[in-house]
Structure 1
């Protein structure tokens, strides 16, 4: 499911300078990569692109630009994708370099104004728009993607949207990162939250490939500065890098650059430093009508899907390249669907796909309808095919999440059916996206990254969309009651245990903070981070001792709740 995004006026700018040329950034590393038409034609080269990340005086650098409430642009820039939330900051600062970020953060500290950071605008809750946020630092123009030969790593700036990053990496070098499936998501929040996507069963989480990070932090004296942390064993800032492998945004500082390199990758050939995606994918979308769908048939489909995930989510599974998302929607939608992709070059890919589809529907007594099935190039499937992607939205929404270590117990199946067929609620865009998980993700230990859920077989994304503010209460009540009913046996949330394993920080859910919605006795931060939270707090104490970067679910300083 998308981690929704705004885009705004930066689209033309980003297309013009998808990849960067040589420039001095951060610690002074040289940057090189395809530029402009050379990339489109298959050539490579170096040069200075518009909006280099160098400094305030870099030729062609964008900004800084300050938008205040009297500016006609303020209404757009004071909100993100979720139209439930509109901020009232004193100003929005659009930045085009890391030095501009340092200046903006320093200004916020010196004037006592709480800052917040926006890249793609996908924050699910009001963490960037709450009333106490007085300065929004908009990094959407920090959007370059390229290769850094000095670090033998690819760089992605926080404002780059995933679709643009995939295009640049693939067209320039034939590589990618196993990130999310919505091309409009900003890399800034996606990566630091431990993002996943359709290639994660094959290659792991995107943070499993995170080599380094440049971030603007504030020390105990109130001085903002840039620091670079890498995963090198002798790097004294290595713990800061670890904290960016899943802590979520807005807790430690402002990311101004990520460097990506696959673990264990050697040599100097860029094409060998990140995963190479399949050339082509066999894709499928099937659906089941609600008409004639009994409770037994519905539960059979979900039960079969969960059991298949249990049996086929080990690292090295023959089905590692198969990613699927079962999307049971409310009955008012008329039907619900399942979307699947598999590497088309895998031996008997079509047979594997057929066997999977047959197993999910076996015994349901109701046949699926084939809505789409074809072989298409990977980049087209990833950035344009509507199976897993979603357009920018201007809707209101509320979301929740869960990790599953096993298939669905019977009480959960019945709760799913009960709330998806309620007659007192109509929501054709109200659904649960159940993603096949595991594979290479589960080959990493719980403490190797800040993401501790490393033995799950499914990941669930509950979401309801609507347009009118007058319908807020109705949709919020439905999704809250649905979620609490599914996890009634563990206090209304997916408490870590034998079957469930907590929640995903990028699908932020402020309800987890409240006892009326979370009766498990397990605090929100344990649901997200489990035993890794204390280590994150230690990183917070070192890198943000003044708690400059804070929101409703940011990592707390030690001793605070």
Structure 2
């Protein structure tokens, strides 16, 4: 037994040099002042720490929430907020192993994306089709229905989730560790497993471990390409052609058994002050059609517009890949090349699923608010709409999950970043609200679920504005935008497994009342 493992779980309070770093996450917009942060290393420590926290009396009646942190990438104040009393940090729990009894790979909830890729793949040849941001923790990424560059080829992370271990609190305040499997005998356990396949993190209990079965093998080699176009060379018609062609390509290439159906891309529609629009793309190079598909994809965009392709000259959101010629490299090497979470800064985010290519109205709104007509005096190189390819294997799920958006072709992430104490913070937030509202003006300022072209929002990119009628005039609640028809069942799961509403935040699942 090591010296560290023999120590009791670590409690960090105000005055400890570690406290300022541990009471915040990636988004510096949200900084908590909890009574303490507790670092957890085992499921039993997590159970005991949660039990202790539940029965403590708050020192400050305004700070009552108990929250759980893994990678710390929550985009809203759900983990680090003004009302947080205790943060239970599972980041020390990051082991990756094979569980023979479960016949599944076990990953602890504190492991990050890169930790899983760099530890699971070398020993097994398997991979989780998760995100490109290296420091995102699985404790939040997986329950949200996490996706990444392998998802068009292999689906979502939750499509491989076999079991989940959760510390739950009953109505009397007792805490126990529960293992819920997709084939558990008890229906309530199967429901708890299902709720973690897209029901969001921080809703039902403290997740300690995940087990995955049937994980795919990533390609031995991938072809990675990055290029950009200078904004100054674009006319409105050429911008429309680029954006429309991008959507049409993925509308027309949705078969995950083909090289074009495996290709994943990110179009970076930066504000004009960035001076460039960027593109990143990856395709399976083991597929003999992969190289030609990459050539055809770039031609489908670059070959139809006048601006000449060049290299990226700056960070675009969370990425900066300085290569214009497609480069073949081992999958893990390419994943490391793309792995980035961007600079440590403040940020605001919004999301949308698109079932069809962009409409003329949406394109006109994006053109205007990216600085060509509106916000032309606004200067922020880190204000953008990232348009991810989607669908393929995602739209052919292996089984029913709580991730309900399964027929989209694009997934949008609106992003804006600024540094702490920036006097223009209100302007940054106004920009992202305005461009989002204008893009989806036809449906009340948000991408409605089950719409003609849209299908709601992604809980992995939470946006508290969806609760506010000033920004959501669609008539659809945030619950519907995130969860669609799954929400009623998620409420039943919440009522059974978290009857005291211990795990709550501005967009947590609302428990239904028990039937009398």
The CA deviation at 1:369 is 2.2
Q: What SS class does the counterpart of residue 166 from structure 2 fall into?
A: strand
**Aligned partners of 2:259 and 2:289 also within 8 Å:** no
Q: Where does residue 331 of structure 2 map in the other structure?
A: 378
Q: 1:391 to 1:495 in 2, by over 3 A?
A: closer
Distance 2:380 2:308 in 1: 24
Partner of 1:23: none
Task: Please name the residue that 2:283 is paired with.
Answer: 342
- 1:17 aligns with none
Q: Matched residue pairs, number? A: 490
Q: In 2, distance between residues paired with 1:468 and 1:229?
A: 41
The equivalent residue for 1:487 is: 440
* 2:430 alignment counterpart: 477
Q: Distance in 2 between matches of 1:337 and 1:249?
A: 31
Instruction: Say whether the 8 Å CA contact 1:120–1:184 is kept in structure 2.
Output: yes
Q: What is aligned with 1:80?
A: 25
* Residue pair 2:256, 2:262 contacting (<8 A) in 1 also: no
- What is the CA deviation profile of residues 208-261 of structure 1, one whole-angstrom value per residue up to 9, with x for unaligned ones? 000000000001111011000111163541110000001111110000000011
> Greater CA deviation, 514-523 or 369-378?
369-378
Alpha-carbon deviations, 1:61-99, whole Å to 9, x = none? 664111111212111111111111110111101111111
Give the distance between the partners of 1:261 and 1:172, measured in 2 at CA: 15
Query: Which residue, out of 159, 163, 172, partners 2:110?
Result: 159
Q: What is the Cα deviation at residue 361 of structure 1? A: 2.6
- Per the alignment, residue 547 of structure 1 pairs with 501
1:414 maps to 2:364 = yes
Equivalent positions of 1:449-488 (< 5 A) are 449-469=401-421, 470-488=423-441
Q: Is the 8 A contact 1:301 1:362 kept in 2?
A: no
Equivalences for residues 497-508 of structure 1 within 5 A = 497-508=451-462
TM-superposed deviation, 1:348: 3.0
CA shift in 2, pair 1:155/1:287, >3 Å: same
User: Is this contact kept in 1: 2:28–2:420, CA < 8 A?
Assistant: no
Deviation for aligned residue 1:533: 0.2
Tell me if structure 2 keeps the 8 A contact 1:184–1:392: no
Matched, 1:405 2:355: yes
Q: CA deviation at 1:392?
A: 5.4
**TM-score, with length taken from structure 2:** 0.92
2:420 and 2:173 map into 1 onto residues whose CA distance is 43
Tell me the C-alpha RMSD between the 2 structures.
1.7
* 3-state secondary structure, aligned to 1:193: coil
Matches of 1:81 and 1:225, distance apart in 2:
30
Q: In the TM superposition, what are the counterparts of 1:66-215 in structure 2 within 5 Å?
A: 66-112=11-57, 113-215=64-166
Label 1:63 to 1:95 Cα distance change in 2 as closer, same or farther (>3 A): farther
Deviates more, 1:306-315 or 1:59-68: 59-68
CA distance in 1, matches of 2:484, 2:164: 24
Deviations 1:277-319 (A, max 9, x none): 0011111111110112111111110000001111112443441
Unpaired runs of 5+ residues, structure 1, are 1-47, 52-58, 263-273
Cα pair 2:108 2:209 within 8 Å, conserved = yes
| Aligned residue number for residue 521 of structure 1 | 475
Q: 1: distance between equivalents of 2:186 and 2:197?
A: 16
Mapping of 1:342-361 within 5 angstroms? 342-361=283-302
Q: Is the 8 A contact 1:141 1:159 kept in 2?
A: yes
Q: Does 1:259 align with 2:204?
A: no
Match of 1:221 in 2: 172
Contact 2:259 / 2:284 at 8 angstroms: preserved in 1? no
Deviates more, 1:402-411 or 1:360-369: 360-369
| 1:128-162 alpha-carbon deviations (Å, 9 max, x no partner) | 12222101001110111111011110011111111
| Alignment partner, residue 423 of structure 1 | 376
Distance in 2 (CA, whole Å) between partners of 1:128 and 1:233 is 30
SS of 1:105's partner is: helix
Q: Matched residue of 2:261: which SS?
A: coil
Conserved? CA contact 1:512–1:524, under 8 Å: yes
Q: What's 1:13 paired with? A: none
State the secondary structure of the residue aligned to 2:141: helix
Q: Which residue of 2 aligns with 1:510?
A: 464
Q: CA deviation at 1:391?
A: 4.0
Question: Does structure 1 conserve the Cα–Cα contact (< 8 Å) formed by 2:391 and 2:409?
Answer: yes
Query: Counterpart in 2 of 1:440?
Result: 393
Aligned to 1:308: 249
Distance in 2, Cα, partners of 1:134 & 1:301: 48
Does structure 1 residue 534 correspond to structure 2 residue 479? no
CA distance in 2, matches of 1:318, 1:135: 48
* Corresponding residue for residue 44 of structure 1: none
Identify the residue that residue 319 of structure 2 maps to in structure 1: none
Conserved in 2, the CA contact under 8 Å of 1:62 and 1:141? no
CA deviations over 1:456-514 (Å, ceiling 9, x no partner): 00000010111143221010000000000000000000012110000000101000010
Larger mean Cα displacement after TM superposition, 69-78 or 497-506: 69-78
Aligned match of 1:29: none
CA distance in 2, matches of 1:382, 1:521: 40
- In structure 2, C-alpha distance between the alignment counterparts of 1:209 and 1:61, rounded to whole Å: 34
CA–CA separation in structure 1 for the residues paired with 2:394 and 2:7: 38
User: SS in structure 1 opposite 2:436?
Assistant: helix
SS of equivalent residue, structure 2 residue 456: coil
